[in-house]
Copies of this chain bind each other. A is one copy, B any other.
C-alpha cells in the first residue's frame, strides 16, 4: 500500500542489488526507515526485536532468512539449525513454522549448491502468494462490510480494530485491514477506531500510520475505550487478525483481543477475524490449553520510545523498575465469540464444522489447480 503516495511492500528484494529490504517497524510512526538484511543473523535479529512483525510477514521474512543463510552454508546441518532457530524466535505465530517448513521441504532434496537459489525463489514466491492471499481476504471481507453498510444509509461504517493486521503485518494489503482498503477504494464510507494496543502500540504507531497514508478516516483510542464505544452503539463491527487459529475456531491474537470480543458479544456487535489459512494450526482444537503464549520483556511495558518536541527519539521509563511486570503478548478468544472467520477461501463459521468446510474448500481449490 502507499507511503507518501508511493506503493510499498513491507519486504522486497532491491531491483538493482538483489538485497533483502524491510521497513524497520520499530521506528514507525516517527521515522520511515528502510533496512537491508544482509545475512541470516540480521533476519533473526529483525524478527526477534520486531523490526518485522505480524504473523504473515514473520513467515516470509523467515523464508528469506533461510535463503540468505543457505548462501553462506547450504549444508544439511546448517539448514536444520537455522530452521530451528527461526521457529524459536516467536513461539505463538504458527505461520512462522508453516513458512519455514515449506522452505525446508522445497530445498531438502536438492544438492547443496542449488539450495540458496531455490530457497530465494521459493521465498519470493511465498511473498507473492501472501499478497494474493491478503487481497482475496480483502475481497471476501468486503462482502461482510457491504452487508453491514446497507443498514447505515450512507453513514460511515464504524469498524474497531486492535493491533496492526494491515499491510505492514503482511507483505501487502494486510488481513484485517484488507477489507477496509477494498471498501475505501470502492467508495464505501468507513471510519476506523484504532486501538492503541499496549504495550507496543502497534495500533497507534502502525495501523494509524497505514490508514493515514491511505486517506482513510480513523480515530486513535486507548485500549480501554472500546467497550464504552460498543456500549454506546458507536461500533458496527470489530475486525482483527490472528496469529494462530485452532481447528475449532479459537483465535489467538494480540493481548487484549479477547476483551474486545467479550464487549462485542455483550453489545451485539459482529466480531470478525481475518486470517490467511496458513495461521490455522490443524493439529490443535483447544486454544486455551494448547497455544503457548509468548511472555515478552518487562521493558516493553516499563519503557516507551517517543519523539521529543525537538524531534529526537527518546526512550523514557514510565514507572519504577522496582515494580514487577507481566507481559503476555497474546490471548485466546474462544470460537463462540467469533462471528465469522474471513480467509482467502471465503468466510466461514468459527467452529469445527466451519473449519472443516474451509478445509474442504481449500482442498477442492488445490485439486482444481
> Which A190-248 residues have C-beta < 8 A from chain B?
193-194, 196-199, 201, 204-205, 208-209, 211-212, 218-229, 231-232
CB atoms of B201 and A323 under 8 A apart: no
Cβ contact within 8 Å between B259 and A205: no
The docked-state distance in angstroms from the alpha carbon of A308 to that of B204 is 22
With contacts A218-B323, A323-B204 taken as known, whether A231 is within 8 angstroms of B198 at the C-beta atoms is no
Q: Is B209 touching A222 in the complex (CB atoms < 8 A)?
A: no
B304/A318 in contact, CB under 8 A: yes
In the complex, the chain B residue whose C-beta lies closest to that of A306 is B316
Whose C-beta in chain B lies nearest to the C-beta of A208? B323
A118 interface residue (CB < 8 Å to B): no
Are A204 and B262 in touch, CB under 8 angstroms?
Answer: no
Query: Which of these binds chain B: A96-104, A324-332, A352-360?
Result: A324-332
A208 to B208 alpha-carbon distance, docked (Å) = 30
Question: Are A29 and B224 neighbours in the complex by a CB distance under 8 Å?
Answer: no
CB < 8 Å neighbour of A198 from B196, B211, B303, B323: B196
Contact with B along A240-274 (1 / 0, CB 8 A): 00000000000000111011101100100000000
A228-B255 contact, Cβ under 8 Å, with A219-B325, A319-B29, A325-B220: yes
Contact with B along A308-347 (1 / 0, CB 8 A): 1100001111111011111110011000000000000000
* A293 proximal to B (CB < 8 A): yes
- Find out whether the CB atom of B224 lies under 8 angstroms from the CB atom of A255: yes
**Closest Cβ of chain B: how far from A361's Cβ, in Å?**
31
Assess whether A307 is interfacial by the CB under 8 Å rule: yes
Contact across chains for A263 and B256 when beta carbons are under 8 A apart = no
Q: Does A288 contact B (CB under 8 A)?
A: yes
Q: Is A19 engaged at the interface, CB distance under 8 Å to the other chain?
A: no
Q: Which of B263, B309, B318 contacts A315 (CB 8 A)?
A: B309
Query: In whole angstroms, how far apart are the Cα atoms of A193 and B29 in the complex?
Result: 31
A301 CB within 8 Å of chain B: yes
Integer count of this chain's copies in the complex: 2
Q: Nearest Cβ in chain B — how far from A255, in angstroms?
A: 4
Chain B residues in 8 Å Cβ range of A306: 303-304, 306, 316-318
Q: In the complex, are the beta carbons of A258 and B198 less than 8 A apart?
A: no
Query: Which chain B positions have C-beta within 8 A of A197?
Result: 224
The one of B221, B228, B304 that contacts A304, using a Cβ cutoff of 8 Å: B304
Asked if A324 and B219 sit within 8 Å, CB to CB, the answer is yes
A91 vs B319: C-alpha distance when bound (angstroms): 29
Residues from chain B with a CB closer than 8 A to the CB of A219 are 323-326
Complex: chain B residue closest to A318, CB-CB: B306
| A332 (CB) vs chain B CBs: closest residue | B231
* Candidates B256, B288, B307, B325; contact of A231 at CB < 8 Å: B288
Q: Which residue of B lies closest to A337 (CB)?
A: B266
Given contact pairs A219-B325, A263-B258, A316 touches B288 in the complex (Cβ within 8 A) = no
Would you give the shortest CB distance from A141 to chain B, in whole angstroms?
A: 23
CA gap between A302 and B212 in the complex, in Å? 15
Chain B min CB distance to A204 (Å): 4
Bound state CA distance, A317 and B311, in angstroms? Answer: 9
11 A/B residue pairs, CB under 8 Å, sorted by A: A204-B323, A208-B319, A220-B301, A222-B301, A224-B255, A229-B328, A231-B288, A231-B331, A306-B306, A307-B317, A308-B317
5 other A-B residue contacts (CB within 8 Å) besides A196-B301, A219-B325: A220-B302, A220-B325, A227-B259, A259-B259, A306-B316
